[in-house]
Amino acid sequence: MADPHEPPAPETEEILDKANALLARHRGALPSTRGEPPVDIPVLTEILQEATAAGYTEAQLEQLERDLRLELLALLGPEFERLVEAKVHDRIGAKIEEVMGLARKVLEAEVRTAVRDALGEVIAVETERLKAGK
């Protein structure tokens, strides 16, 4: 087991920094109607430092890490899903409007062509009928 007084390994430190940055971004993205969380909520590095200082075994630390990841996913998952869904919804809405506008223009052009051709045919037939009737 690692010495609890040694600093964490660089890859562990990097993971913790990324998790803290994600939490900071998430807190910053929350609406201002929610109050700030209490100041005494520990960050991930504090939890792991306390666990290391408490003398947890490597297996217990790995289990703690898995549990923390699952808890973070449970807490952040729905919010992340909502944000992605909102972003996709906006993009899909804009794309649908674009496609419908293009379809409207193409359909309008085809209808005009069909009407013009039909009127030309009707006029030609009526002209022939009138000439034949003289």
d(CA 48, CA 50): 5
Q: What is the chain's pLDDT, residue by residue, as a tens digit (134 residues)? A: 455 555 556 666 777 777 777 777 767 655 555 556 556 666 767 766 776 667 777 788 788 888 888 888 888 888 888 888 888 888 888 899 999 999 999 999 999 999 999 999 999 999 999 998 76
Entry pTM: 0.36
d(CA 116, CA 121): 9
